[in-house]
Amino acid sequence: MRYHRIPDETVRRLPVYLRGLMVSANQGNTSISSRSLADSVGVNSWQIRKDFSYFGDFGTRGVGYDIERLAKEIKKILRLDVIRRAVLVGVGDLGSALLAYPGFGIFGLDIVAAFDVDPKKIGSTLNGVTIEDFAGIDAVKERDISLAIVAVPRAEAQVAADRLVASGVKGILNFAPCKVSVPRRVKVITLDIAMELARLPYYIPRAGRAEEPQQA
């Protein structure tokens, strides 16, 4: 059925599918079945078909999905066709690694500016991006940037977010291990690395015990 509302969990999987489609396209394929996409990304084939069914018919029965058409549609749904420029705030260890990270390109995302408060860093260039003074963050308003990555210590995260929102940023990927409050119109995704590692031990069976959590 077409023009369903797309469930949140499906949205979370769309980038996974998108990457799988790209990889397959790079191998020279023009179409792919839900089964083989399933094998390559690690999601059930019926889940994939259900997910795709929320936004139209891209498959051909007996054949599979047209990779290019489907990838283009997913990009459109995720708005990756129009929103691509991001700013980084906080060029510490993690921030520098993110600046150097080549993985954003596949989604058409681009870190086009970086800010820090450290005078020793301001003015230097990393991966083609010159680090600017955080005091001048307002300038991003004129640069068509709607995404931000916050990689500052916890104590500074809220301030950074406030200034970013004031500068017109619409979405924030927050690496600081804390909640940041923003107006409802702005979306924040907090990615707490230590927390991910912290929930790993739960899934490790106790040696010599019968009752164990199973993996998800």
* Footprint of its own copies (CB under 8 A): 8, 11-12, 14-16, 18-19, 40-42, 77-80, 82-83, 86, 92-94, 96-98, 100-101, 103-104, 106-107, 109, 146-147, 149, 170-173, 177, 179, 184-185, 187, 189, 191-206, 215-216
Q: Is 129 helix (H, G, I), strand (E, B) or coil?
A: strand
Q: What is the C-alpha to C-alpha distance for residues 167 and 138, in angstroms, rounded to an integer? A: 5
Q: Are 116 and 156 in contact (CB under 8 A)?
A: no
Give which of DNA, its own copies, none residue 79 binds (C-beta under 5 to 8 Å, depending on kind): its own copies
The one among 29, 30, 39, 63 contacting DNA by CB under 7 A: 63
Distance from C-alpha of 19 to C-alpha of 40, rounded to nearest angstrom: 10
Query: 181 with 195: CB under 8 angstroms?
Result: no
**Under the criterion CB under 7 A, does residue 187 sit at the interface with DNA?**
no
Cα(76)–Cα(55) distance, rounded to whole angstroms? 11
Count of residues touching DNA (by CB under 7 A) = 27
Question: Which amino acid, 175?
Answer: F
Shortest Å distance, C-beta 61 to its own copies: 27
Distance in Å, CB of 71 to DNA, minimum: 14
What is the secondary structure of 141-186 as a DSSP string?
GGGT--EEEE-S-HHHHHHHHHHHHHTT--EEEE-SSS-----TTS
What residue 10 binds from DNA, its own copies, none (CB within 5 to 8 A, per partner kind)? Answer: DNA
64 binds DNA per the rule CB under 7 A = yes
Cβ proximity to its own copies, 6 vs 135, nearer residue: 6
- What is the smallest separation between the CB atom of 108 and its own copies, expressed in angstroms? 9
Tokens encoding 149: 């990555």
Q: What residue ranges bind DNA (CB under 7 A)?
A: 1-2, 7-10, 32-35, 44-47, 49-50, 52-53, 57-65
